[in-house]
Chain A
Amino acid sequence: MSGDRITGAFIGLAVGDAAGWPASRHRAALHAPWSRRLHRELDVFAEEHRVTTLPVPFALNQPVGPLAVGPSDDAEWLAWTVLGLDRPRAEAFRSLAGRTDIRARVSVATALDNLARGLEPPASGHDNPHHFDDAAAIRAVAFGALGRDPREDAQVTNSGDGVLGALAVAAAVAEAVATGSPARMVGAALDVLPEETAIGHNARLALKVARAAGDPFGAVPALDAALLDHVYSYGVGAAQTVPVALALAEVAQGSLGRAVPAAACLAALADSAPALTGALTGACGGYGAIPEGWRAAAGTLAGCCLPELTGLDLMDLTEGLS
Chain B
Amino acid sequence: MTSADRTLRGGIFRDRARGCLLGLAAGDALGAPAENLSPAEIRRRWGRLTEIEGGGTDDTEYAIFAASLLVDHGHGLTSALVAAAYRERIVPLAEGPMRGAGFSELGTVQALRRGLEPPLTGLVHQHGWSDGLAMRAAPYGIFCPGDPGEAARLVEEDGRVSQSGEGILGGRAVAGAVAAAMTGAPPPDVVEAALAVLPADSWTARNIVRIRDVIGAAAGRESGGEAVSREMRGEAVGGDAGAGASGLVEALHEAVVVKHYPWTDVAPEAVALALAAYLAGGGEVEASVTFGVSLGRDADTIGAIAGAIAGAGQGERGVPGRWAARIGPVTGKCLPAVAGRHVLDVADELAAALDHAHRPQDGTAAALDDARRPQDGTAAD
**A119, A126, A226 interface centre (most CB from chain B within 10 Å):** A126
A231 touches B258 (CB 8 A): no
B123 touches A197 (CB 8 A): yes
* Chain A residue with the shortest CB-CB distance to B108: A231
Residues from chain A with a CB closer than 8 A to the CB of B266 are: 129
For the complex, what is the distance from the CA of A109 to the CA of B165, rounded to whole Å?
Answer: 21
On whether A201 and B126 interact (CB within 8 A), knowing A110-B258, A127-B203, the answer reads no
A129 touches B261 (CB 8 A): yes
17 A-B pairs with C-beta separation under 8 A: A106-B260, A109-B259, A110-B258, A110-B261, A130-B261, A160-B164, A160-B165, A196-B119, A201-B124, A226-B114, A229-B107, A229-B110, A229-B124, A229-B125, A229-B126, A231-B110, A239-B124
Write the A207-249 contact mask toward B (1 if CB under 8 angstroms, else 0): 0000000000000000000100111111001010000000000
A198 touches B120 (CB 8 A): yes
On whether A231 and B107 interact (CB within 8 A), knowing A123-B206, A127-B203, A129-B129, the answer reads yes
Partner of A237, one of B119, B120, B126, B258: B126
Q: Does A113 contact B (CB under 8 A)?
A: yes
A232 touches B127 (CB 8 A): yes
A129 touches B206 (CB 8 A): no
A232 touches B103 (CB 8 A): yes
Nearest CB of B to A120, in Å = 12
On whether A231 and B261 interact (CB within 8 A), knowing A197-B123, A239-B126, the answer reads no
Q: Does B268 contact A (CB under 8 A)?
A: yes
Count class of interface residues, chain B = 20 to 34
Residues from chain A with a CB closer than 8 A to the CB of B259 are: 109-110, 113
For the complex, what is the distance from the CA of A257 to the CA of B202, rounded to whole Å?
Answer: 44
* Chain B residue with the shortest CB-CB distance to A226: B114
Give chain A's interface residues, CB within 8 Å of chain B.
106, 109-110, 113, 119, 123, 126-127, 129-130, 132, 160, 196-198, 201-202, 226, 229-234, 237, 239
**A110, A196, A198, A202 interface centre (most CB from chain B within 10 Å):** A198
Q: Does B106 contact A (CB under 8 A)?
A: yes
* Chain A residue with the shortest CB-CB distance to B269: A129
Residues from chain B with a CB closer than 8 A to the CB of A106 are: 260-261
* Chain B residue with the shortest CB-CB distance to A119: B206
Residues from chain B with a CB closer than 8 A to the CB of A126 are: 203
Residues from chain B with a CB closer than 8 A to the CB of A232 are: 103, 107, 125-127
Nearest CB of B to A82, in Å = 25
For the complex, what is the distance from the CA of A231 to the CA of B114, rounded to whole Å?
Answer: 13
Residues from chain A with a CB closer than 8 A to the CB of B164 are: 160
A132 touches B126 (CB 8 A): yes
For the complex, what is the distance from the CA of A291 to the CA of B330, rounded to whole Å?
Answer: 61
Residues from chain A with a CB closer than 8 A to the CB of B123 are: 197-198, 201
For the complex, what is the distance from the CA of A119 to the CA of B119, rounded to whole Å?
Answer: 29
**B125, B126, B203, B258 interface centre (most CB from chain A within 10 Å):** B126
Residues from chain B with a CB closer than 8 A to the CB of A109 are: 259-260
Nearest CB of B to A308, in Å = 21
For the complex, what is the distance from the CA of A201 to the CA of B126, rounded to whole Å?
Answer: 14
Nearest CB of A to B250, in Å = 15
Q: Which residues of B from 199 to 235 have beta carbons under 8 Å from A?
A: 201, 203, 206-207
On whether A129 and B263 interact (CB within 8 A), knowing A198-B124, A239-B124, the answer reads yes
Partner of A129, one of B106, B114, B201, B258: B258
Residues from chain B with a CB closer than 8 A to the CB of A233 are: 103, 263
For the complex, what is the distance from the CA of A109 to the CA of B123, rounded to whole Å?
Answer: 23
B268 touches A127 (CB 8 A): yes
B125 touches A113 (CB 8 A): no
For the complex, what is the distance from the CA of A110 to the CA of B259, rounded to whole Å?
Answer: 7
Residues from chain B with a CB closer than 8 A to the CB of A123 are: 201, 203, 206
B125 touches A231 (CB 8 A): yes
Residues from chain B with a CB closer than 8 A to the CB of A132 are: 126
For the complex, what is the distance from the CA of A239 to the CA of B124, rounded to whole Å?
Answer: 8
Nearest CB of A to B160, in Å = 12
Residues from chain A with a CB closer than 8 A to the CB of B124 are: 198, 201-202, 229, 239
Nearest CB of B to A162, in Å = 11
Q: Which residues of B from 73 to 121 have beta carbons under 8 Å from A?
A: 103, 106-107, 110, 114, 119-120
Nearest CB of A to B254, in Å = 9
For the complex, what is the distance from the CA of A123 to the CA of B199, rounded to whole Å?
Answer: 13
Q: Besides A119-B206, A232-B125, 11 other CB < 8 A contacts?
A: A109-B260, A113-B259, A127-B207, A130-B261, A160-B165, A197-B123, A230-B110, A231-B106, A232-B103, A234-B126, A237-B126
